[in-house]
A = this chain, B = another copy of it.
Amino acid sequence: MPKDRVPRPLKRKVLAKKNRQALINATLSSVAELGVAQTSVTEIVNRAGLSRGMIHLHFGGKENLLVAAAKQSAERYFDVLDKFLEAAGAKPQEIVAAVVNADLDESVMNPGSVKIWYAFRGAARDRAMIAQFSDTRDARLNNLIYRAFREICDQSQIPDSSTVARDATHGTLALLEGMWTDYLLHPDLFDRQIARRIVFRFLSGILPDHFELPR
């Protein structure tokens, strides 16, 4: 280290950004532990070690902070998904496998993230801003694997291939959704290997020539 080059990033604006992020982190922590309903302004600022006024200062109100926290949480999911998709090949089977593996990976399916996801989705009933994130995720996953299944079906001699592609999409997403719920309710009993195997049992059952059970 030839020069202790402190580029002076610790100006007031930078510190403010850090506090803003601390509020989001504290919110996510509280939502994971207590749920949205029990996440009060007092609870958030205590966890962040900041004063009550900070929420109004940085976000204009508690509601906007919740939306920002939900947004960040959703982005984390897509970051991991994109990483899995980049690592996968272009074959439709690989895309489907990437989605399944990403969805069951510990980096997105962990106690904190899963509790946050369901807490926000439960609260989405009255908050359109939050519901949007839930719908966006579902729609994107749906599109992604439907295209893949469609490609598989079109290249094969499958009767009624359109129906099969739709059923495969619908079934895979429903199965993953059920696995997440299972993980939410019994995180200690959950086994990712088994969950993956069951999803591939479904896939190899519906498209026997294109998917096979993992060893």
Question: Chain A interface (Cβ within 8 Å of chain B)?
Answer: 34-38, 118-119, 122-123, 125-126, 134-135, 138, 166-167, 170-171, 173-179, 181-182, 185, 194, 197-198, 201-202, 204-206, 208
Question: How many monomers of this chain does the complex have?
Answer: 2
Contact of A175 among B38, B134, B171 (CB under 8 A): B171
**Which residue among A123, A134, A202 has the maximum number of chain B CB atoms within 10 Å of its CB?**
A202
Does A170 lie within 8 Å of B198, measured CB to CB?
yes
Complex-state Cα separation, A38 to B124, whole angstroms: 13
Does A171 lie within 8 Å of B202, measured CB to CB?
yes
Using Cβ atoms and an 8 Å threshold, which residues of chain B touch A197? Answer: 167
Contact of A174 among B35, B178, B205 (CB under 8 A): B178
- Quick one: closest B residue to A33, CB to CB? B125
Complex-state Cα separation, A118 to B34, whole angstroms: 17
Which 3 A-B residue pairings sit nearest by Cβ, starting from the closest? Answer: A205-B205, A174-B178, A177-B178
A-B contact pairs, 9 of them (CB 8 A): A35-B125, A36-B37, A119-B122, A171-B202, A174-B181, A175-B175, A177-B177, A201-B202, A205-B208
Apart from A171-B202, A174-B178, A178-B178, 16 more pairs, CB < 8 Å: A34-B126, A35-B125, A119-B122, A122-B122, A170-B182, A171-B198, A171-B201, A174-B175, A174-B177, A175-B175, A178-B181, A201-B205, A201-B206, A202-B202, A202-B205, A205-B208
